[in-house]
């Protein structure tokens, strides 16, 4: 795997137990690594049947889909990807020239997200940091038409992949997704500025429970422990955190794709927590009004309703899953 930034970390004991659980409940099940756009991505490949791709949020990993993955994999092939710089995927350096907003050569990407002022080029680089390798992986695996389910940052990636049109997912499910509008709560901005990578131990678990899954269950407790373990990965994911902070600045409008949502003609489920303190529900209401084939479902949950209420999430996904 020459000229590819390799995976630099391995699962800790909490994640190892979750992987063993997934392997016992899901057949076939594999933990895979593959080079894509110059970096090595880790992904989970579970089940068989029509493909479905899962993209997690910041500070999470492919294993964070534990509440949904076994059920989804009973009738389809599920690919859950560690986004670049998270979980156990590698990442490309976020260059100093990008931090300074240096010029960027033209690409096939869509127009940059609308930023909160100057810096279109920097925003585009930050988006490419996460999207380019995932898009390349999907195309390399022959999954360019696979439906995408994305949470938070993963939802933004799903939107960007769809708008680039190199991949053409059959449908989308966006769970508390970034990128649908310029608003973000002050609390959310502070949380993202701190970043789960800077928290550790009980602090990381407390942040996960407060913002992601305020309804505690045995499953969310285990995911909180996973969140803390992932936050302790050496090197602090500095490049990923820097790229992310461009997409979630402390002040001003948040870069977004709201003006382009009307271009998305595929069936889309917007699944949102009414108690989401990071990306409040009015964002989803506004996005649904702009998307010609969107369905909005609001749940009495937080930023990660699929963690708090997996069975309810699966019920809302069922109409889309039945089509694939």
Lowest mean pLDDT, pick from 51-55, 160-164, 193-197, 305-309: 193-197
d(CA 212, CA 204) in angstroms, rounded, equals 11
Full-model pTM: 0.89
| 137 within a domain of the structure (yes/no) | yes
Burial class (CB in 10 A: 0-12, 13-18, 19+), 103: exposed
Token digits of residue 294: 């969107």
Given this model, what pLDDT does residue 6 score? 60
pLDDT band at 128 (very low <50, low <70, confident <90, very high): very high
Answer for the pair 135, 164: CB distance below 8 angstroms, yes or no: yes
Is 96 domain-assigned?
yes
232 band by pLDDT with thresholds 50, 70 and 90: confident
Helix-then-strand count for the chain, H and E? 12, 8
Q: Which of 5-9, 169-173, 255-259, 287-291 has the lowest mean pLDDT?
A: 5-9
**100: pLDDT strictly greater than 70:** no
CB-based contacts of 203, cutoff 8 Å, min separation 6:
none
Q: What is the pLDDT of residue 4?
A: 55
* CATH number, residue 160: 3.40.50.1820
| pLDDT bucket at 118, cuts 50 / 70 / 90 | very low
| 4 domain-assigned | no
pLDDT of res. 256: 94
Structural domain including 276 reads 30-321
Residue 151 falls inside a structural domain: yes
Q: Does residue 2 lie within any of the structural domains?
A: no
Instruction: Compute the mean pLDDT over every residue in the chain, rounded to the nearest whole number.
Output: 85
| Averaged pLDDT, 214-233 | 75
Count of structural domains within the chain: 1
Residue 12 falls within a domain, yes or no?
no
Q: What is the DSSP letter of 74?
A: T
Query: Would residue 272 count as lying in a domain?
Result: yes
| Residue 153 scores a pLDDT above 80 | yes
Beta bridge partner(s), residue 10: none
DSSP 230-262: HHT-TTTTHHHHHHHHHHS-SSSPPPB-GGGGG
pLDDT of residue 246 exceeding 50, the answer is yes
If you ran DSSP here, which 8-state letter would residue 269 be given? E
- Whether the predicted pLDDT of 69 surpasses 90: yes
Please report the DSSP string for 3-52 in residue order: TSBPP-----HHHHHHHHHHHHHSSSEEEEEEEETTEEEEEEEE--SSEE
Q: Vertex 258, ends 79 and 134: CA angle to 5°? A: 25
pLDDT at residue 170 tops 60? yes
111 band by pLDDT with thresholds 50, 70 and 90: very low
In a domain, 23, yes or no: no
Split at pLDDT 50, 70, 90, the class of 2 is very low
Least confident of 218-227, 246-255, 302-311: 218-227
């Amino acid at each position: 795997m020459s000229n590819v930034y390799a995976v630099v970390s391995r699962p800790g004991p909490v994640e190892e137990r979750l992987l063993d659980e997934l392997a016992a409940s899901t057949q076939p099940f594999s933990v895979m690594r593959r080079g894509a756009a110059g970096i090595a991505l880790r992904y989970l490949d579970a089940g068989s049947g029509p493909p479905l791709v899962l993209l997690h949020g910041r500070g999470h990993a492919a294993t964070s889909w534990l509440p949904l993955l076994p059920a989804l994999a009973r009738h389809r092939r599920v690919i859950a990807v560690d986004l670049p710089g998270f979980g156990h995927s590698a990442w490309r350096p976020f260059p100093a020239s990008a931090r300074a907003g240096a010029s960027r050569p033209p690409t096939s990407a869509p127009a940059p997200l609308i930023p909160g002022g100057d810096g279109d080029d920097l925003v585009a680089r930050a988006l490419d940091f996460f999207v380019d390798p995932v898009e390349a992986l999907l195309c390399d695996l022959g999954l360019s038409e696979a439906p995408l389910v994305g949470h938070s940052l993963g939802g933004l990636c799903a939107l960007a992949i769809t708008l680039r049109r190199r991949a053409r997912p059959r449908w989308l499910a966006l769970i508390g997704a970034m990128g649908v509008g310029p608003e973000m709560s002050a609390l959310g901005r502070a949380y993202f500025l701190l970043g789960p990578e800077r928290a550790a131990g009980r602090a990381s678990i407390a942040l996960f429970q407060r913002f992601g899954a305020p309804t505690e269950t045995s499953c969310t407790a285990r995911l909180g422990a996973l969140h803390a373990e992932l936050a302790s990965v050496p090197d602090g994911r500095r490049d990923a955190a820097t790229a992310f902070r461009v997409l979630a600045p402390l002040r001003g409008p948040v870069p977004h794709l709201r003006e382009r949502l009307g271009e998305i003609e595929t069936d889309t489920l917007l699944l949102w927590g009414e108690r989401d303190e990071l990306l409040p529900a009015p964002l989803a209401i506004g996005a649904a009004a702009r998307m010609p084939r969107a369905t909005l479902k609001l749940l009495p949950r937080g930023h990660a309703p699929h963690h708090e209420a997996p069975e309810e999430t699966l019920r809302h996904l069922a109409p889309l899953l039945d089509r694939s």
